[in-house]
């Protein structure tokens, strides 16, 4: 790699010299599809599709931006009592049966990596068209570690990710970086599309406009283990007639911090006052004339409404001084899917699910989260080596892929090394398998007028938040509140050691994330009364 280029970059700015990097080849990125995974109990759940063990057991995983190790649930249940054993397999995205694999090998504890107690083992992990790590070490959890908020096995993509390290060591990828598009999931089956997890690079075809990006330094803390802290400067309701209405009600000081957590249920959590603004503007009544109803299904704890009276527009999330991410109505107001006792995933047609979680009671002061459904509308790339992350509006209509690698300086590199494979794995030469869905155009449903009506750049040029310090309130110990949401990030489990507080200096043009004064949240007990029971 180029120390000379690194030096030039220091003086002259890395981005202007991106073309220089093209002279250095990178291994071709590898692709893991995000799609419905077929489980042994006959159910289908969406997640990162992988197989484990000598007999290729199907496992669906969520991408954890926090954990360094990977955790794959075993056959020992560990779901709350209200889940039958079949429902538990679906909730967890499959169950790795160690006794069925002939290639497993127990290894020493890696508890020090994340602080979790687990049974540590090595086995084959395969994904995509032809990538396989033959002795990949992971943990089989000994307890349910984030209930239904991030229920599946966790692919650890944290700052010292053992998975990314293994791929780099094997020569499969050149840089510890990943990009996620969750795919379209809200509409009927024929409108749903595959997503992809790209390792070592990204798929440029999934980016609506490459220059229209939000890029900032990763800033890990106990309240945002993924390090992807963003400032939301406005949230607009996009009405079908082209009018946009701000749920910030014109306030100039209403910006909120949020943490992107790719494993977390739903589109986003919102502080109660913002949710109340959303609701009063968007309208809609909860089912059965209740004051509030929440899903206990796949989009756990997000809001339920009567199908005959529910918001019919889209939503735009504006990130400070930067991009807008538009969420079409089809990805915001979705069928309520839940797990039945035989493990199948079904839809409750008597309700509609608005995939927003209002933070109240125990969670009233939690840092809001942009969860996995955010990545149905946004494309997110994390480069652990550059210490940076980027967000673009996703081009959900992408039909062909355009995969490029990223290097450790976060330059995109489209020249792939002739032979990059080696070690214990084999890299595919046909990553085009990532996005093969039929053409989609969710945007067209909103029509040009709705899109044209977006007010762009309302805060442009005004560094409103330039010097605002962000402060997280310490939890006030209001235990036992009926609607307590137990966890806002997968880090907050009693079993986890407090993550190291790290400061990543931000570049001059970026958000001053290193100025935020973030105090630690207390970890808290799980309110087990919230677990769902479905027949
Ligand atoms: C695993 O997934 C494949 C498709 O990827 C499917 O053909 C197979 O039946 C699944 N196996 C089980 C046990 O569900
Ligand atoms: C992952 O590893 C890094 C570097 O060792 C460490 O700072 C971080 O705390 C670890 N993450 C977790 C969740 O423990
Ligand atoms: C996977 O890649 C290896 C090495 O490139 C090749 O020998 C093997 O045939 C490939 N397998 C499939 C199923 O494509
Ligand atoms: C990353 O993890 C490996 C294996 O657990 C460890 O040897 C290494 O020191 C860690 N790196 C950092 C920066 O913590
Ligand atoms: C994926 O599975 C879910 C049930 O978990 C189902 O509702 C959905 O229609 C399936 N999507 C596709 C494209 O088959
Ligand atoms: C983000 O956009 C800027 C121009 O606005 C561009 O120079 C930069 O390369 C883009 N970054 C990425 C990671 O695409
Ligand atoms: C568009 O629809 C919204 C919601 O029904 C309404 O408040 C607004 O006045 C309408 N705008 C126009 C220009 O008709
Ligand atoms: C819903 O509740 C309101 C007040 O709580 C009441 O006036 C109204 O009649 C109820 N509607 C139905 C259909 O029960
Ligand atoms: C479906 O939603 C309705 C309305 O909230 C509820 O009464 C019913 O119990 C739900 N059905 C299932 C199977 O959860
Ligand atoms: C490619 O692989 C072959 C055989 O493994 C090796 O002889 C050759 O030097 C490699 N080329 C490069 C550029 O690494």
pLDDT surpassing 60 at residue 138 = yes
Protein residues whose CB sits closer than 6 Å to any atom of ligand 10: 418-419
Give the DSSP letter string of 2-65. Answer: -HHHHHHHHHH-TGGGHHHHTTS-BPPPEEEEEEEEEPTTS-EEEEEEEEETTTTEEEEEEEES
For residue 290, the ligand 9 atom closest to its alpha carbon is 5
Does ligand 7 come within 6 angstroms of the Cβ of 449?
A: no
Q: Verify whether ligand 4 is closer than 6 Å to residue 113 (CB atom).
A: yes
Stronger pLDDT, 100 or 449, i.e. the higher one: 100
Residue 26 near residue 15, CB atoms below 8 Å: no
| CA–CA distance, 400 with 438 (Å, rounded to integer) | 10
Beta bridge partners of 260: 370
Residues with CB under 6 A from ligand 5: 36, 44-45, 189, 192, 337, 345
Arithmetic mean of pLDDT over the chain: 79
Ligand with minimal distance to 109 CA:
4
pLDDT number for residue 145: 75
319 and 389 Cβ atoms separated by less than 8 Å: no
Residue whose CA lies nearest to ligand 7 atom number 14? 241
Taken in order 202, 204, 206, 210, is the CA torsion positive or negative?
Answer: positive
pTM of this structure: 0.80
Question: Is residue 338 within 8 Å of residue 461, measured between CB atoms?
Answer: no
Residue 360 lies in a domain: yes
Determine the pLDDT at residue 322. Answer: 87
Number of domains in the chain: 1
Among candidate residues 439, 420, 349, the one with its CA nearest the CA of residue 26:
420
**Binding site membership of 40 for ligand 1 (Cβ less than 6 Å):** yes
User: Closest Cα partner for 403 from 427, 374, 433, 425?
Assistant: 433
- pLDDT for 252 equals 65
Give the helix ranges, DSSP H, for 256-327: 272-282
Give residue 176's pLDDT band: very low, low, confident or very high (50, 70, 90). very high
Report pLDDT for 362. 83
506 is a domain residue? yes
The answer to whether residue 117 scores a pLDDT higher than 60 is yes
**Residue with CA at minimum distance from ligand 10 atom 1:** 419
Buried residues in 126-141 as b, exposed as e (16+ CB within 10 A): bbbbbbbbbebbbbbb
User: What is the Å distance from ligand 9's center to 534 Cα?
Assistant: 9
Do the Cβ atoms of 333 and 354 come closer than 8 Å? yes
Per-residue pLDDT reduced to its tens digit, 213-264: 999 999 999 999 999 999 999 999 999 999 999 999 877 678 999 999 999 9
Residues constituting the chain? 535
The CB of 134 under 6 Å from ligand 3? The reply is no
What is the C-alpha separation between 402 and 142, in angstroms, rounded? Answer: 40
Among candidate residues 273, 128, 216, 243, the one with its CA nearest the CA of residue 465 = 216
More confident residue, 146 or 482: 146
Tell me which ligand sits closest to the C-alpha of residue 419.
10
pLDDT tens per residue across span 6-21: 334 333 344 434 444 4
Q: Is residue 226 part of a domain?
A: yes
**Residue 302, domain member (yes or no):** yes
Which one of the ligands is nearest to 418 CA? Answer: 10
pLDDT digits (tens, 9 = 90+) for 14-47: 443 444 444 589 999 999 999 999 999 999 999 9
Q: Which residue is closest in CA terms to ligand 1's atom 2?
A: 38
CA-nearest residue, atom 1 of ligand 3: 130
The percentage of residues in the chain with a pLDDT greater than 70, rounded to a whole number, is 74
Which of 136, 160, 168 has most ligand 4 atoms within 8 Å of CB, for mutation? 160
What secondary structure letter does DSSP report for 417? P
Distance, in Å, from the CA atom of 472 to the CA atom of 376, rounded to the nearest integer, reads 28
Ligand 5 mean position, distance from CA 443 (Å): 21
**217-231, 359-373, 428-442, range with the lowest pLDDT:** 428-442
30 alpha-carbon distance from chain centroid: 18
Residue 341: count of CB within 10 angstroms of its CB:
14
Whether residue 370 contacts residue 257, with contact meaning beta carbons closer than 8 Å, is answered with no
Q: For tokens 């527009």, name the residue.
A: 313
In a domain, 47, yes or no: no
**Residue pLDDT, tens place only, 447-472:** 333 322 222 222 222 222 222 222 22
Give the pLDDT score at 10: 39
| Nearest-CA residue for atom 11 of ligand 10 | 419
Position 419 confidence tier, pLDDT thresholds 50, 70, 90:
low
The whole-number pLDDT of residue 107 equals 95
**382 within domain boundaries:** no
Tokens 């009544």 locate to 285
The CB of 534 under 6 Å from ligand 9? The reply is yes
List, in order, residues 6 or more apart from 341 with CB less than 8 Å away: 84, 86, 87, 534, 535
DSSP type of residue 102? S
The answer as to whether 106 is a domain residue is: no
Cα–Cα nearest to 196, from 133, 127, 95, 130? 127
Distance (angstroms) between ligand 7 centre and the Cα of 373 equals 27
**Which pLDDT band holds residue 54 (cuts at 50, 70, 90)?**
very high
Measured in angstroms, how far is the CA atom of residue 299 from the centroid of ligand 8? 27
Pairwise pLDDT comparison (409 vs 147), residue with the higher score: 409
Is residue 277 in a domain?
yes
Q: What is the CATH number of the domain that holds 328?
A: 2.40.70.10
**pLDDT number for residue 364:** 85
Query: How far is Cα 116 from Cα 46, in angstroms, rounded to an integer?
Result: 25
Phi-psi region of 457 (alpha: psi -120 to 50; beta: other; left: phi over 0): left
Distance 212 CA to ligand 6 centre (A): 7
206, pLDDT greater than 90: yes
Distance CA 369, CA 366 (A): 9
Give, using CA atoms, the residue closest to atom 2 of ligand 5.
44
CB 163 within 8 A of CB 71: no
Q: Domain limits at 512? A: 214-376+462-530
Structure tokens at 474: 């310490």
Task: Select the more confidently predicted residue: 178 or 252.
Answer: 178
Helix/strand/coil for 104: coil
Q: Comparing C-alpha atoms, which of 118, 142, 131, 126 is closest to residue 69?
A: 118
């Amino acid at each position: 790699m180029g120390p000379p280029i690194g030096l030039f970059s220091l003086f002259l700015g890395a981005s202007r010299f991106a073309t220089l990097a093209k002279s250095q080849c990178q291994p071709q990125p590898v692709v893991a599809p995000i799609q419905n995974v077929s489980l042994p109990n006959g159910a289908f759940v969406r997640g990162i599709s992988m197989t484990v063990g000598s007999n290729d057991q199907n496992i669906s995983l969520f991408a954890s931006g926090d954990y360094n190790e990977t955790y794959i649930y075993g056959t020992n249940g560990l779901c709350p009592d209200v889940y039958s054993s079949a429902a538990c397999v679906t909730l967890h995205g499959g169950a790795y049966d160690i006794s069925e694999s002939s290639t497993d090998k127990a290894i020493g504890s890696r508890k020090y990596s994340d602080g979790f107690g687990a049974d540590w083992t090595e086995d084959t992990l395969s994904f995509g068209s032809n990538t396989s790590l033959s002795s990949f070490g992971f943990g089989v959890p000994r307890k349910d570690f984030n209930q239904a908020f991030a229920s599946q096995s966790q692919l650890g993509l944290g700052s010292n990710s053992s998975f990314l390290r293994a791929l780099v060591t094997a020569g499969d990828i050149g840089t510890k970086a990943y990009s996620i598009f969750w795919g379209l999931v809200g509409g009927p089956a024929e409108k749903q599309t595959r997503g992809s997890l790209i390792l070592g690079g990204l798929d440029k075809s999934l980016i609506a406009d490459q220059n229209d990006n939000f890029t900032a330094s990763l800033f890990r803390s106990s309240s945002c283990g993924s390090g992807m802290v963003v400032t939301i400067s406005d949230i607009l309701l996009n009405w079908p007639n082209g009018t946009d209405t701000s749920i910030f009600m014109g306030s100039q000081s209403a910006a909120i911090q949020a943490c992107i957590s790719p494993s977390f249920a739903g589109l986003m959590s919102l502080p109660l006052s913002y949710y109340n603004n959303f609701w009063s503007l968007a309208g809609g009544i909860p089912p059965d004339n209740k004051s509030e109803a929440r899903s206990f299904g796949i989009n756990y704890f997000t809001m339920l409404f009567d199908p005959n009276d529910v918001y019919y527009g889209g939503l735009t999330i504006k990130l400070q001084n930067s991009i807008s991410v538009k969420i079409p109505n089809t990805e915001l107001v979705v069928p309520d899917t839940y797990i039945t006792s035989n493990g199948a995933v079904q839809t409750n047609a008597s309700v509609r699910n608005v995939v927003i979680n209002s933070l109240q009671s125990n969670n009233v002061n939690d840092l809001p989260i942009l969860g996995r459904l955010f990545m149905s509308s946004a494309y997110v790339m994390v480069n652990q080596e550059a210490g940076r992350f980027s967000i673009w509006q996703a081009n959900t209509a992408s039909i062909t892929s355009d995969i490029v690698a990223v290097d450790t300086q976060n330059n995109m590199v489209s020249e792939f090394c002739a032979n990059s494979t080696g070690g214990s794995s084999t890299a595919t030469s046909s990553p085009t398998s990532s996005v093969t869905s039929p053409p989609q155009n969710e945007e067209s449903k909103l029509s040009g007028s709705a899109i044209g009506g977006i007010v762009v750049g309302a805060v442009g040029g005004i560094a409103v938040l330039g010097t605002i310090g962000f402060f997280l309130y310490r939890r006030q110990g209001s235990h036992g509140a009926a609607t307590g949401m137990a966890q806002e990030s997968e880090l907050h489990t009693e079993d986890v050691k407090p993550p190291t507080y790290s400061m990543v200096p931000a570049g001059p043009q970026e958000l001053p994330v290193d100025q935020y004064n973030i105090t630690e949240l207390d970890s808290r007990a799980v309110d087990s009364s919230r677990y769902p029971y479905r027949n």
